[in-house]
Structure 1
């Protein structure tokens, strides 16, 4: 039974994206990244919207904090670094592997119980070392292993079957779907399979922003607040050393942020101000400066966002341009490109 506060699912259509970032070389716009952006005020009203924030889309790993909330609501007792790892797209560092093993140990399980796709570590430096050592893909190294370990632990605690825990009809995934609809405020438009093998639920970008706001501004002690607190305290457990989302959380006090493949980001402040970004072509080089510009729109001090204003383009080893948000996304003009 759906609550009356849960709206109908977003329409499945070709998104009407708009230009959100320019690739500028030598003073000329060489390329354009399209996408959609929404900025919510603390009262939940859309202060800024660009592109198509209501079409159905897949949030990818940006939905992991919502999945983690669902597991905590279902009795998952993790906190701190292990709960952050449960919401992670991790780099495969030693702390991530050890953390996933710890969760499995708490569940009385081994790595063999995982059903995520075997992969090499996501972090480039970690992956290079892994390959030099002659190690192949593994389920533990795959960037979603913390989430999968937590899913298995949640199943053990609820006496749910371990077999088929990734099936959308499994009690665990039904519980996750219920919380996705609760926190986004809308019914799920479609369900597919994410890269790791888990069900992936389609909502709107606006819905993703509402969920981020609900989690970041939650009352202390609630499942939402526990997830937010864990990720804020241990941002590198939810990502990895040198990752842009962790760096942004370190730079902006109280920020809760989660990225996802294909150019998705949600970032929310403790008072509920939230931004959500989707880059149409999936480019992180646009995702990062567009998210920074949207946070400035939300009232974050632009001085704390300088390092996220867009990568520099080189020509012959010298700066000749940059990737920067479109002017309509800049409440305070960014420095001109080289």
Structure 2
């Protein structure tokens, strides 16, 4: 087995300040030439050397990354002693999956390898996340289960690590559990800052407040890591299996397929991070949690990283429909605004 190299760890700096973030307008919903809605938020673009190339809003305030923190948690599991897994399973450990059959099969495979079952999971039972899969699931007469919930891959890997380390299983989601303490230390190392607050995420696992700047810096570290490091292993698995990280047709998977080498992860409440192999990276937080603004703003930020706007075109705008026809669009605005669209023909 190839030796896993551990990258040097840094002493984290102070935690980000807990305050009301000073968000700014990032996206406009335009209907018939009139701005119908405005999405506020914050965005940061990092250069390859880690310096801030562009920012809008408040990138230093503490916030909860939600599922965008999962790649960092997955690195923490490897550091804590997660037994060897194939790339498909590692990708699922960092996933917000759609509950497709391959996602459930892989989560079961992780549990089986640890001698555990779905009953050992402590995430919240739910329906599959993907709309099409959820409808199919309900047609088949299924209800909410822990395995179908979008974080089951992460929880299965957490359990596998706890079993390997002979740590308690039924309390693995407690913030004071040695597994979660190891993950918290990894989050602080990768972001370069101490955690400002700890709460409980929707799935039941601990969630750590960091800054948008720190989160983006951490994802850039994963994207540039050597393949024989824990960070590099997670980045490689996610790039190799983007549909395992999200699901068939999901925008994050399509974005990773469209931009060679891109590492990307979304999170509830309008969070998105993405990083290129050379360290250029973007972080986005939509203040109202509006998911519809997340990808147009991300596309505009990636264009500032030098990604071909033509490649990003399908992500850069969302049509606004009236009477079954397109009457406008949702696009990035403010300092991120693209060139104006041509006026419609009279």
TM-score interval w.r.t. the shorter chain?
A: over 0.9
Q: Secondary structure at the match of 2:243?
A: coil
- 2:39 maps to which residue? 33
**Residue 103 of structure 1 contacts residue 150 of structure 1 at CA under 8 Å; is this kept in 2?**
yes
What's the CA shift for 1:335?
4.0
Deviations 1:173-202 (A, max 9, x none): 000000000000000000000000000000
Contact 1:309–1:334 (Cα < 8 Å) also in 2? no
Report how far residue 134 of structure 1 moved. 1.2
Residue 329 (structure 2) pairs with residue 322 (structure 1): yes
Output aligned runs, 1:156-235, within 5 Å: 156-235=163-242
SS in 2 for 1:236: helix
The answer to whether the Cα contact below 8 Å between 1:79 and 1:227 also exists between their aligned partners in 2 is: no
Find the aligned partners of 2:239 and 2:342 in 1 and give their Cα distance. 32
- Helix, strand or coil: the match of 1:141? coil
- Which of 26, 30, 40 does residue 20 from structure 1 map onto? 26
* Residue 220 of structure 1: how far off its partner (Å): 1.7
- The correspondence for 1:63, drawn from 50, 60, 69, is 69
TM-superposed deviation, 1:333: 2.5
Counterpart Cα distance in 1 of 2:227 and 2:103: 26
Q: CA deviation at 1:71?
A: 0.6
8 Å Cα contact 1:262/1:279 also seen in 2:
yes
1: CA distance, partners of 2:328 / 2:301? 21
1:19-98 → structure 2 map (5 Å cutoff): 19-76=25-82, 77-98=84-105
In the alignment, is the contact (CA less than 8 A) between 1:275 and 1:291 conserved in 2? yes
Q: Please give the alpha-carbon distance, in whole angstroms, between the structure 2 residues aligned to 1:335 and 1:101.
A: 48
For these two proteins, the number of residue pairs brought into alignment is 335
Name 1:116's counterpart in structure 2. Answer: 123
Say whether 1:142 aligns with 2:154. Answer: no
Distance 1:110 1:57 in 2: 34
- Tell me what 2:296 maps to: 289
1:24 and 1:322 in contact (8 A); partners too: yes
Q: Tell me the distance in 2 between the aligned counterparts of 1:295 and 1:4.
A: 28
Aligned equivalents of 1:62, 1:336: Cα separation in 2? 35
Task: Give the TM-score normalised by the residue count of structure 2.
Answer: 0.95
Question: Which deviates more, 319-328 or 246-255?
Answer: 319-328
CA distance in 2: counterparts of 1:15 and 1:197, whole angstroms: 25
What residue is the counterpart of 2:5 in the other structure?
Answer: none
Distance 2:114 2:295 in 1: 36
Q: Measure, in 1, the Cα distance between the counterparts of 2:287 and 2:85.
A: 35
Distance 2:340 2:67 in 1: 29
Q: Answer whether contact 1:96 1:237 (CA < 8 A) is retained.
A: yes
**Could you tell me whether the CA contact under 8 Å between 2:300 and 2:332 is conserved in 1?**
yes
Give me the whole-angstrom Cα distance separating, in 2, the residues matched to 1:337 and 1:324: 15
Structure 2 distance, partners of 1:79, 1:17, is: 40
Distance 2:88 2:242 in 1: 9
* Whole-angstrom distance in 2 between the partners of 1:79 and 1:249: 20
Q: CA RMSD in A?
A: 1.2
Determine the C-alpha separation between the residues in 2 that align with 1:27 and 1:263. Answer: 25
Shift of 1:79: 3.2
Gaps of 5+ in 2: 1-8
